[in-house]
Amino acid sequence: MDKSTYYITTPIFYPNDRLHIGHAYSATVTDTLARYKRLRGFDVRFLTGTDENAQKVQRKAQEAGKETLQFVDEIVASIQSLWRRLGISYDDYIRTTEPRHQEIVQKIFTKLQDQGDIYLGEYEGWYCTPDESYWTERQLVDGKCPDCGREVERVREKSYFFRMSRYADRLIAHYQEHPEFIVPESRKNEMLQNFLLPGLEDLCVSRAAAGWGIEVPGDPQRVIYVWLDALTNYITALGYLSGDSAREALMARYWPADVHMMAKEIVRFHAIYWPIILMALDLPLPKQVVGHGWLLMKDGKMSKSKGNVVDPNLLIDRYSADALRYFLLRDIAFGQDGVFTLESMMERLNYDLANDLGNLLHRTLSMVERFCGGQVPAPGPHTDVEERFSTLIVDAVTQVELALDRYDFSGALAAIWTIVRRGNQYIDEMAPWALNKAGQTERLGAVLYNTLDVMRIVGILLEPFMPHTPARIFAQLGLDVSVADRRSAELSWAAAREMGRLPSGQATQKVEPLFMRLDVEKEIAELEALLAGEVGKGEVGKGEAKSAPPAKSLEVAAAESPKAEPEGVTTLIGIEDFAKVELRVARVIEAQKIEKADKLLKLQLDLGYERRQVVSGIAKFYTPEELAGQLVILVANLKPVKLRGEASHGMILAASVGDQLRLATVAGDIELGAVVK
């Protein structure tokens, strides 16, 4: 039986400057879906590319004093190199300057003209060059572009128009019959209210030629409007109308697209104009148009003069592509805007990757080396504990699948992390070091086998999100990576549900940390210096592309960002500020006095997945004996400090008024390490 196909696309990006982490986010979510579908056995086609015929690209080349195509070639090379480094597994990269695209766009234009969908008229109105968008007087907001708020240019020229109005009713009916067409659904209402219901105006589909762009067939005075040209990339890349049967077979196999992925500002073009163009061409419509949120900076817009443009290459150099991908996918709630901060990235890398994931593999392998001579031990019979663990894994895999079906990347990773955290707890509870001491060799082997096996499962589940890390995990588990490449049975997606599929007897590899723990303060200082350096470089370099206008989305964010509160007033914080504080439930294992510090107690805390020492100023209110066994709430992501020579990794919460103090705790039973929010 033929495999089901899955055709997914990113927007084609304007090559007018190097891409930033917002673009990297878009490519990463698309890639994650493509990889996931491949693992699930789909015949996947993943398309990305560049939208090169835009006027603003030509203007940027002129500013840089370069011939347009040469300018574009250089940027395209930088984009392709970034995608390679980030592990973006596209099957095809389309450049709209390629003949395979340009010739077909002209054929499409002629076909639409012959059918009477395109006619010659006169355009009088406004044009936003940064957005490459036409606007009517009525649509402008305070005389500016309603999308990005920038200046618009008055245009009056003979132009070709597309009779959009012909298809508006069919499009509205399509929305009704296919409620899943636009994700999230709120955007559908926006399309209906703002564009379709008030009456769709005919779209101007040409510009006066200025030496760049695709010529209107038979009219060298004009070029085809860049959005008409750009949108068709999704089918020209599949050989539509190419006359080449091998290439047209791609069209037959993959069209209609399953998902067009993009950020919210261009949903309008994909949910209105693109379906109408397809209707006019008598082609089926894509199954889904998915608009994600924007990646914003803490101080609003990303601009080189502010020194806050984040080049993904810098983060890949320092932390690896997988670390960047993990952060983007885990930290941003899909569909919503997310604020990028170096602090939150460092925290994710330290807590989730170095502590939780890295530690699980590291401590297990170290014990296998110490107790089992560096060989994967034999599995033993499951006890109730393993049965429960196995149920947790099956549930988590289901959660990952459900989450990915609704584009909830963060939720999918959180589900994988329930396995990782349980793995660490399992080690704590089973205490292999004690089994070793007690000479319970078989049980010891079984426990370590299970933990290694859990790493196999985690490795499989991580593949769509972090394409480089699983191979490293598998290699350390002694699995031949070439076997992993061939997707052997124990590394298939289905095998992630089954404990006990790891072969035993093979030698594990030397312990090599997956992710390094970072000194947050030092990292941030160094990164800020590096980012500032990047700005300098861009501005000084003669003949270099001048700094880009800030990404539109980031500019809008600045305009919308709330003003600072006046001093002396309780500062309201957003949920994103609160979310920075990681509160967790911990149990006090023991408390001790600190010599010559009568206010301080040194506490050993159990967080389920790790032990911590915290120094707390509660000696006047609690005795060490009273504290032992208490459940407390720990601020788990506080920078470590030294108090009276003792390291303190966090702070426990207490309520205090006057000379009273009471520890904050949680009512009832809850797993150690549980997040308080």
Determine which residue in the list 262, 278, 527, 632 makes contact with ligand ME8, applying CB under 6 A. Answer: 262
Shortest distance (Å) from residue 27 CB to ligand ME8: 8
Answer yes or no: are the C-beta atoms of 524 and 530 closer than 8 Å. no
Interactions with ligand ME8, residue window 216-235 (CB under 6 A): 230-231, 233
Determine which residue in the list 263, 309, 473, 619 makes contact with ligand ME8, applying CB under 6 A. Answer: 263
E-strand stretches of 43-109: 43-50, 92-95
For residues 85 and 362, which CB has a smaller minimum distance to ligand ME8 in the complex? 85
Shortest distance (Å) from residue 172 CB to ligand ME8: 22
Residue 79 found at the interface with ligand ME8 (CB under 6 A): no
Residue 51 found at the interface with ligand ME8 (CB under 6 A): yes
Helix (H, G, I), strand (E, B) or coil at 206: strand
* Residue 281 token pair: 């061409």
Answer yes or no: are the C-beta atoms of 21 and 28 closer than 8 Å. no
Residue 478 found at the interface with ligand ME8 (CB under 6 A): no
For residues 235 and 321, which CB has a smaller minimum distance to ligand ME8 in the complex? 235
Whole-angstrom distance, CA of residue 178 vs CA of residue 26: 24
> Across the chain, which distance is largest between two alpha carbons, in Å?
92
Residue 352 found at the interface with ligand ME8 (CB under 6 A): no
Helix (H, G, I), strand (E, B) or coil at 506: coil
**What's the DSSP call for residue 614?**
E
Answer yes or no: are the C-beta atoms of 127 and 152 closer than 8 Å. yes
Whole-angstrom distance, CA of residue 12 vs CA of residue 49: 5
For β-strands 118-128 and 92-95, DSSP reports them as: unpaired
CA atoms within 13 A on the CB side of 72: 23
Shortest distance (Å) from residue 68 CB to ligand ME8: 16
Number of residues in contact with ligand ME8, rule: CB under 6 A? Answer: 20
Helix (H, G, I), strand (E, B) or coil at 261: strand
Residue 614 found at the interface with ligand ME8 (CB under 6 A): no
**What's the DSSP call for residue 501?**
-
Q: What distance lies between CA 290 and its chain's CA centroid?
A: 14
Residue 133 found at the interface with ligand ME8 (CB under 6 A): no
Residue with the CB atom nearest ligand ME8 in the bound state:
22
For residues 554 and 632, which CB has a smaller minimum distance to ligand ME8 in the complex? 554
Burial of residue 339, with CB atoms counted within 10 A of its CB: 0-12 exposed, 13-18 middle, 19 or more buried? buried
Answer yes or no: are the C-beta atoms of 442 and 458 closer than 8 Å. no
* Residue 44 token pair: 């996947």
Whole-angstrom distance, CA of residue 561 vs CA of residue 302: 13
Determine which residue in the list 126, 175, 225, 294 makes contact with ligand ME8, applying CB under 6 A. Answer: 294
Shortest distance (Å) from residue 646 CB to ligand ME8: 44
Determine which residue in the list 8, 11, 308, 470 makes contact with ligand ME8, applying CB under 6 A. Answer: 11
Shortest distance (Å) from residue 100 CB to ligand ME8: 16
Helix (DSSP H) and strand (DSSP E) numbers for the chain: 25, 25
Residue 329 found at the interface with ligand ME8 (CB under 6 A): no
Residue 134 found at the interface with ligand ME8 (CB under 6 A): no
Residue 554 found at the interface with ligand ME8 (CB under 6 A): yes
Phi first, then psi: give them for residue 92, nearest 5 degrees: -150, 145
Stretch near ligand ME8 under the rule CB under 6 A, chosen from 84-92, 547-555, 644-652, 665-673: 547-555
Whole-angstrom distance, CA of residue 551 vs CA of residue 194: 24
Q: What are the residue ranges of helices labelled H in 307-383?
A: 312-319, 321-331, 342-348, 359-372
Determine which residue in the list 8, 18, 22, 496 makes contact with ligand ME8, applying CB under 6 A. Answer: 22
For residues 294 and 319, which CB has a smaller minimum distance to ligand ME8 in the complex? 294
Answer yes or no: are the C-beta atoms of 213 and 52 closer than 8 Å. no
CA atoms within 13 A on the CB side of 244: 11
For residues 96 and 476, which CB has a smaller minimum distance to ligand ME8 in the complex? 96
For residues 337 and 610, which CB has a smaller minimum distance to ligand ME8 in the complex? 337
Residue 90 found at the interface with ligand ME8 (CB under 6 A): no
Whole-angstrom distance, CA of residue 474 vs CA of residue 470: 6
Residue 25 found at the interface with ligand ME8 (CB under 6 A): yes
Q: How far is residue 159 from each of residues 124, 155, 233, 273, measured CA to CA in Å? A: 9, 10, 22, 17
Stretch near ligand ME8 under the rule CB under 6 A, chosen from 60-68, 147-155, 406-414, 550-558: 550-558
Residue 266 found at the interface with ligand ME8 (CB under 6 A): yes
* Residue 512 token pair: 């090599």
For residues 182 and 605, which CB has a smaller minimum distance to ligand ME8 in the complex? 182
For residues 175 and 274, which CB has a smaller minimum distance to ligand ME8 in the complex? 274
- Give the bridge partners for 44, in sequence order: 6
Helix (H, G, I), strand (E, B) or coil at 267: helix
For residues 262 and 636, which CB has a smaller minimum distance to ligand ME8 in the complex? 262
Shortest distance (Å) from residue 546 CB to ligand ME8: 17
Shortest distance (Å) from residue 619 CB to ligand ME8: 49
Residue 26 found at the interface with ligand ME8 (CB under 6 A): yes
For β-strands 92-95 and 43-50, DSSP reports them as: parallel
Determine which residue in the list 350, 425, 508, 553 makes contact with ligand ME8, applying CB under 6 A. Answer: 553
Answer yes or no: are the C-beta atoms of 479 and 471 closer than 8 Å. no
Q: What CA dihedral angle connects 251, 252, 256 and 261, to 10 degrees?
A: -40
Residue 551 found at the interface with ligand ME8 (CB under 6 A): yes
Residue 57 found at the interface with ligand ME8 (CB under 6 A): no
Residue 72 found at the interface with ligand ME8 (CB under 6 A): no
Whole-angstrom distance, CA of residue 320 vs CA of residue 398: 28
For residues 147 and 523, which CB has a smaller minimum distance to ligand ME8 in the complex? 147
Stretch near ligand ME8 under the rule CB under 6 A, chosen from 11-19, 198-206, 343-351, 362-370: 11-19
Stretch near ligand ME8 under the rule CB under 6 A, chosen from 20-28, 92-100, 155-163, 315-323: 20-28
For residues 396 and 551, which CB has a smaller minimum distance to ligand ME8 in the complex? 551
Shortest distance (Å) from residue 83 CB to ligand ME8: 13
Answer yes or no: are the C-beta atoms of 319 and 358 closer than 8 Å. no
Residue 14 found at the interface with ligand ME8 (CB under 6 A): yes
* Residue 419 token pair: 């396995």
Shortest distance (Å) from residue 327 CB to ligand ME8: 14
For residues 11 and 87, which CB has a smaller minimum distance to ligand ME8 in the complex? 11
Give Cβ neighbours of residue 133 (< 8 Å, ≥ 6 apart). 127, 145, 147, 227
Interactions with ligand ME8, residue window 386-425 (CB under 6 A): none
Write out the residues near ligand ME8 by the rule CB under 6 A: 11-14, 22-23, 25-26, 51, 230-231, 233, 262-263, 266, 294-295, 551, 553-554
